[in-house]
Chain A
């Protein structure tokens, strides 16, 4: 806790010293500063070989029709046209955005409410246990969560058991096999994955808000809701930004959970870009089309995350 709170101060100080001391720069001769690259070289080499080069190859593949073995045929932007016009492929993109409701909006909203209501509770005993349990979904592999939830959603699973217990038995169904409910059901697994992380991040953030702000608001007669709107929300801007960024990327680039829970089915009802890229490339051997879809996905992620950073970083 204390390290989290003291970070900004330490950051500013060292950034400040970094700016004011131009001495170092002059003390080292140029060739010695270049020699420092020896330290950075391994990281650069690994990054270039296993990230940058594949990204460029993806771009290259996306302009070809290629099955991975035979000769590749140049097709220009055909693959992109295909991605953006084929209803099945387009629907994967919609699904990815739909998942944001479950991966991001619900967890952040719940996290905000819990954090705001919990603000005054400082119970250590409770805090430790709560943290451990809330973090569990983040610790286990996404694939394992999917197995757990597949069982929860099955005909005899806990969800239907619960519905029958409260007299809504008519509503019970095999959730992941239902064309209408499969996607929200998969999304809800994402809610389960992110809600704990968001809650804890926002709780840590709320602890950093100056209590005198709340005191002042209370003296002005501000209601709980008004305090929430005028003190809590602005104070948590940065933390909300972090939650939103992480979970939006998780939603758009989801793979593990969908792959294990539904493989994109029934039909294409839960197909997301990640699983489709895998299927196109490694099942159907259409590497060009798979790459084009991957590139479109990447551009979408960058286009969404970039502006988000800007919105939440400014204070």
Chain B
């Protein structure tokens, strides 16, 4: 991209480059620091001796790593991990499958009234969750699905539809039409063409969608605290609410527990960071 011209640039602009580098470096370092400082301050508080009142950001002389073990047990992390995984497994594959099918119908099969359906979904893209939450509670109560993971999963699948279909539609628009026509001439029906040609081709788009949906599900807070009473049946983020309520006075344990509750996403992010960054940047641009 912009590297090519710099090679051929005359001396003068190379000097401006160097001049501009220093403030840039300072700025970016500052913003990097700004991003991690609250997390470091949390970590430092979590490592202080229990029962003491931590002071700002100060690395403890004798880091109490076992605080994390205590917090693990107090916050019931084992149960919560299981619960969050179950919810993610209930939401992510369903969202991926259903939205891909719908986008395929919209773009490749060109279903009648598809434009209308898509417009309806577009409105949903900007709806704040707050507007659905009160009736959702009543509705799930009527369906007998309140306080259950099934109810939470169903609601989340529905709420994810606008973005997911939008995302997969954008992918299908990049697939050359000749491809499905060729499949049609080979006698493959829509279902076969979908399974054998379109789903494999959608791999990268699906992977990004999966990551984004995983993240939003795992971090889902409002729906989790409203629709599920028992913190042990919630997502990690939702469980944080009851943990904060119980340990708000014990700063050491509160911070240790919160570090544990956010650790899984951070770990997954660090492992898959390339994919995450790509997906998040694209997700933002498309949404």
Which residues on A are within 8 Å of B, measured CB to CB? Answer: 1, 3-5, 10-11, 14-15, 17-18, 21, 23-25, 27-28, 30, 33-40, 42-44, 46-47, 49-55, 57-58, 61, 68, 110, 113-114, 117-122, 126, 129-145, 147-149, 151-152, 154, 156-158, 160-162, 192, 195-197, 199-201, 204, 207-208, 211-212, 215, 218, 224, 239, 242-243, 246, 249, 252-253, 255-256, 259-260, 273-274, 277-278, 281-282, 287, 290-291, 294-295, 297-298, 301-302, 305
Contact = CB atoms under 8 A, between A and B. Distances in A.
Interface of B: 1-6, 13, 17, 20-21, 23-25, 27-28, 31-32, 34-39, 41-42, 45, 53-57, 98-99, 101-102, 104-107, 109-112, 114, 117, 120-121, 124, 126-139, 154-155, 157-159, 161-162, 165, 170, 173-177, 181, 184, 190, 194, 215, 218-219, 221-222, 226, 236-238, 240-241, 244, 251, 254-255, 258, 261-262, 265-266, 269-270, 273, 276-278, 280-282, 284-285, 287
Contacts of B280: 135, 138, 197
A57 B139 contact: yes
B35 A133 contact: yes
B101 A42 contact: yes
B41 A260 contact: no
A295 B99 contact: no
A50 B98 CA distance: 14
B139 to A, nearest CB: 6
Given A36-B111, A192-B34, A139 B126 contact: no
B56 A282 contact: no
A58 B133 CA distance: 9
Contacts of B282: 3-4
A302 B126 CA distance: 7
Contacts of A50: 132, 136, 154-155, 157-159
B284 A147 contact: no
Given A51-B161, A140-B265, A253-B130, A36 B277 contact: no
Contact of B177 (A24, A160, A252): A24
A287 B134 contact: yes
Determine the main DSSP class of B at the interface with A: helix
Contacts of B114: 40
A35 B135 CA distance: 32
Given A14-B174, A204-B281, A301-B126, A52 B120 contact: yes
A289 B75 CA distance: 35
Nearest to A208: B1
A294 B3 CA distance: 49
Given A40-B102, A200-B277, A34 B157 contact: no
Nearest to B5: A211
Nearest to B270: A132
A43 B161 contact: yes
Nearest to A291: B134
A152 B38 contact: yes
Contacts of B42: 147-148, 151
A287 B218 CA distance: 28
Nearest to A302: B126
Contacts of B287: 242, 246
Interface centre among A4, A51, A224 (most CB of B within 10 A): A51
B226 A278 contact: yes
A57 B129 CA distance: 14
A47 B27 contact: no
Nearest to A298: B131
Contacts of A38: 105
Most buried by A among B106, B124, B262: B262
Nearest to A281: B134
B28 A114 contact: yes
Contacts of A5: 1
Contact of A36 (B105, B134, B170, B221): B105
A44 B117 contact: yes
B237 A144 contact: yes
B28 A33 contact: no
A158 B258 contact: no
Given A33-B110, A117-B24, A68 B138 contact: yes
Contact of A130 (B28, B56, B255): B28
Nearest to B106: A40
Nearest to A249: B126
B173 A15 contact: yes
B98 A294 contact: no
B129 to A, nearest CB: 7
Given A18-B177, A44-B117, A157 B56 contact: yes
